[in-house]
């Protein structure tokens, strides 16, 4: 048994050598290709990546800010009486538009009319006393010239005239105050606007500076209040001296669109939200904007002149920052870009030039230096097919 094992080993080695000799003879003596030698051939046969491209354009790009604004009147006045009285007559109706100075209410003024008459009578009495004092002074001066009275008597008459003059002035001031109080019986509109709900009627008792008679709201022009991010504060302030930035207000449910101007920037940035309150003023002759309503606001903060525009979808966020792939000489080239502003589907960037071919579809399969082949975009092909369909139908027999 011990002699059989070395014999088997020798027989196994002899068979392996014979097999290798036969393989060399069948292959004509050529060495077998190695795996390392076949790798470059596989790499050279990698097909190019199909991509779609767009051309980077150069144009002005308006920076549009959108927000939700609240319509607010430029003025809204609660009309309250300045005296305690009773309403005698209401001269307006609810919802009416009034002009500045138009009569709204008349209050019971009989008491104030009596006070005015009393003040007028007091003025007349004191004027008569002043006239008598002036005559006495004139007579005393004549007697002094004839040495019939002393200088002291003349001085006394002069003091009486001065006191009576001051009393007449006081009476006239009291008469003017009485007339002011009488004027409070006529309640007039301080500014033009629309009348709201009337809360009193003829015969209603009203308290001075307490009872609200009606509210008058100015509707034309009208303001819209909204908030701007802090980063656009400098743009808003710079636009104010030139008439304000252009602002558009879109009404809900397709009710229309109005154009206005930015007119006010608040003096405080809200630290909680990082925004500043602003107001834009709109012409509202048609009455489309109503106080308290919500509208969609779009404001042109500023315009980027001659910006290079690429599709926002073409920008790739990599570990080293934002890049785009361009096609040059049939190969993909990665270029770092800096995003300046994004507006809808467009983005203003730096790092590429106008006219560069920017890879849009297929960018996820690219590596720098990869071979590419351009193919038409699906939307363009569909549009081309839709355009040619009618002509084919027309040529059919």
Q: How far is the C-alpha of 345 from the C-alpha of 333, rounded, in Å?
A: 23
User: Residue 368: which of 49, 55, 43 has the closest Cα?
Assistant: 49
Q: For residue 15, what pLDDT is reported?
A: 55
Q: What is the DSSP letter of 30?
A: P
Query: In Å, what is the CA distance from 243 to each residue of 99, 275, 283?
Result: 27, 22, 14
Q: For residue 299, what pLDDT is reported?
A: 86
User: What tokens were used for 35?
Assistant: 């795996």
**Helix/strand number for the chain, H first, E second:** 6, 22
Top-tier CATH class for 111-172? mainly alpha
Q: How far is the C-alpha of 56 from the C-alpha of 360, rounded, in Å?
A: 11
On whether the CB atoms of residues 216 and 99 are closer than 8 A, the answer is no
Tens of pLDDT along the chain (397 residues) come to 444 444 445 445 455 555 444 444 444 444 444 433 444 444 445 688 889 999 999 998 888 888 899 999 999 999 999 999 999 999 999 999 999 999 999 999 999 999 999 999 999 999 999 999 999 999 999 998 998 889 999 999 999 999 999 999 999 999 999 999 999 999 999 999 999 999 899 999 999 999 999 999 999 999 999 998 898 888 888 888 877 788 999 988 777 889 999 999 999 999 999 999 999 999 998 888 999 999 999 988 778 888 999 998 899 988 888 999 999 888 889 999 998 888 778 899 999 999 999 998 888 888 888 888 888 876 544 433 333 344 333 333 3
Domain boundaries, the chain: 50-60+306-377, 111-172
CA angle, 198 then 204 then 205, to 5°: 120
Q: How far is the C-alpha of 143 from the C-alpha of 135, rounded, in Å?
A: 13
> Would you say how long the chain is, in residues?
397
On whether the CB atoms of residues 90 and 124 are closer than 8 A, the answer is no
Other beta carbons within 10 Å of 228: 23
Q: How far is the C-alpha of 381 from the C-alpha of 318, rounded, in Å?
A: 31
Backbone angles phi and psi of 19, in degrees to 5: -65, -45
The phi-psi region of residue 180 (left if phi > 0; otherwise alpha if psi is between -120 and 50; otherwise beta) is alpha
Q: For residue 46, what pLDDT is reported?
A: 66
Q: For residue 48, what pLDDT is reported?
A: 86
Q: For residue 326, what pLDDT is reported?
A: 92
On whether the CB atoms of residues 197 and 90 are closer than 8 A, the answer is no
Q: How far is the C-alpha of 135 from the C-alpha of 138, rounded, in Å?
A: 5
CA 129 to chain centre: 69
Q: How far is the C-alpha of 69 from the C-alpha of 262, rounded, in Å?
A: 13
Q: How far is the C-alpha of 264 from the C-alpha of 244, rounded, in Å?
A: 9
Reported as type and span, the H/E element at residue 229 is strand 222-229
On whether the CB atoms of residues 371 and 45 are closer than 8 A, the answer is no
Instruction: Find out if CATH 3.30.450.20 is the number for domain 50-60+306-377.
Output: no
The strand pair at 372-374 and 49-55 is best described as: parallel
Q: Where are the beta strands (DSSP E) in 97-188?
A: 97-98, 103-107, 186-188
User: Residue 227: which of 63, 67, 62 has the closest Cα?
Assistant: 67
Q: Is the peptide bond before 221 cis (omega within 30 degrees of 0)?
A: yes
């Amino acid at each position: 048994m011990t002699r059989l094992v070395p014999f088997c080993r020798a027989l196994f080695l002899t068979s392996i050598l014979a097999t290798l000799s036969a393989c060399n003879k069948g292959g004509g003596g050529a060495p077998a290709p190695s795996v390392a030698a076949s790798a470059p051939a596989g790499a050279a046969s990698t097909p190019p990546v199909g991509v779609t491209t767009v051309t980077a354009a150069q144009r002005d790009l308006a920076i549009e800010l959108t927000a939700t604004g609240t319509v607010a009147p430029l003025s809204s006045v609660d009309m309250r009486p300045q005296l305690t009285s009773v309403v005698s007559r209401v001269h307006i109706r609810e919802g009416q538009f009034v002009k500045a100075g138009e009569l709204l209410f008349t209050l019971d003024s009989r008491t104030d009319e009596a006070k005015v008459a009393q003040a007028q009578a007091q003025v007349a009495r004191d004027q008569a006393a002043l006239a008598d004092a002036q005559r006495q002074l004139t007579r005393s001066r004549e007697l002094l010239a004839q040495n019939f009275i002393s200088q002291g008597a003349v001085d006394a008459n002069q003091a009486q005239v001065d006191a009576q003059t001051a009393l007449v002035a006081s009476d006239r001031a009291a008469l003017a105050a009485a007339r002011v109080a009488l004027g409070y019986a006529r309640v007039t509109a301080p500014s033009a606007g629309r009348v709201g709900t009337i809360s009193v009627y003829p015969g209603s008792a009203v308290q001075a500076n307490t009872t609200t008679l009606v509210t008058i709201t100015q509707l034309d022009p009208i303001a819209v209040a909204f908030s701007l991010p802090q980063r656009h504060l400098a743009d808003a302030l710079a636009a104010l001296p030139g008439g304000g930035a252009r602002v558009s207000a879109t009404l809900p449910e397709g009710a229309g669109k109005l154009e206005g101007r930015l007119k006010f920037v608040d003096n405080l940035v809200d630290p909680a939200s990082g925004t500043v309150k602003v107001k834009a003023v709109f012409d509202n002759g048609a009455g489309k904007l109503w106080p308290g309503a919500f509208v969609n606001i779009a404001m042109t903060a500023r315009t980027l002149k001659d910006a290079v525009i690429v599709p926002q979808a073409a920008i790739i966020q990599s570990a080293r920052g934002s890049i785009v792939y361009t096609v040059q000489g049939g190969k993909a080239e990665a270029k770092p870009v800096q995003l300046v502003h994004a507006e809808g589907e467009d983005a203003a960037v730096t790092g590429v030039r106008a006219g560069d071919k920017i890879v849009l579809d297929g960018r996820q399969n690219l590596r720098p230096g990869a071979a590419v082949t351009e193919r038409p975009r699906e939307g363009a092909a569909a549009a081309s097919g839709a355009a040619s369909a009618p002509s084919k139908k027309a040529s059919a027999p």
